[in-house]
Amino acid sequence: MTEHARGAGALLPVLHALQARIGWLPDAVVAQAAERLNISRAEAHGVVTFYADFRREPPGRHVVKLCRAEACQARGGAAMVQAAERRLGVALGETRADGQVTLEAVYCLGLCAIGPSALVDGAPVARLDAAGLEAIAAEVGA
């Protein structure tokens, strides 16, 4: 790390590391990180709320990210999002009440010729169809 990157420049890597360990970013943890990096709580809060990846609430036990971008739409992605919402019993952007699964939109995984694509607990899935959706539902225990 260069001299400059030790302070504020380290904020994103630090937040990533904290979230990898805790699963989300409680306000108190963000405040501690800000103090250690010698930046204001407001600055750190601004960063946490800007980026889609940073969670201010704990996610479900499983996280399913479905691609909503154009190349997946060209391959039936929009209908797949609706089917997933129905099958998993949770709306896009929400965590199911029992805490079992969080369903999220992602804008492109770079799997653009083999959509609809998804990330299931970090594992990539492509050419998603009804059978694939059932497999995801089974995996997340829905």
Site of interaction with other proteins (CB under 8 A): 1-2, 4-5, 7-13, 15-16, 37, 39, 43, 46-47, 50-54, 69-75, 106-115, 117, 119, 122-127
- Nearest approach in angstroms of CB 23 to other proteins is 15
- Nearest approach in angstroms of CB 94 to other proteins is 16
Residue for token pair 């630090």 = 14
Nearer to other proteins by C-beta: 14 or 89? 14
Could you give phi then psi for residue 14, rounded to 5 degrees?
Answer: -65, -45
- Nearest approach in angstroms of CB 25 to other proteins is 11
Is residue 31 a contact partner of residue 44, using CB atoms and an 8 Å limit?
yes
Nearer to other proteins by C-beta: 83 or 126? 126
Cα-based torsion angle of the residue sequence 60, 42, 47, 22 in order, rounded to the nearest 10 degrees: -30
Strand partners for 120: 64, 123
Nearer to other proteins by C-beta: 12 or 22? 12
Helix runs in 38-129, H state only: 41-50, 70-73, 77-88
Nearer to other proteins by C-beta: 92 or 137? 92
Q: Tell me which H or E stretch contains 120.
A: strand 118-120
- Nearest approach in angstroms of CB 86 to other proteins is 20
Q: Does residue 105 sit in helix, strand or coil? A: strand
- Nearest approach in angstroms of CB 21 to other proteins is 15
Nearer to other proteins by C-beta: 69 or 137? 69
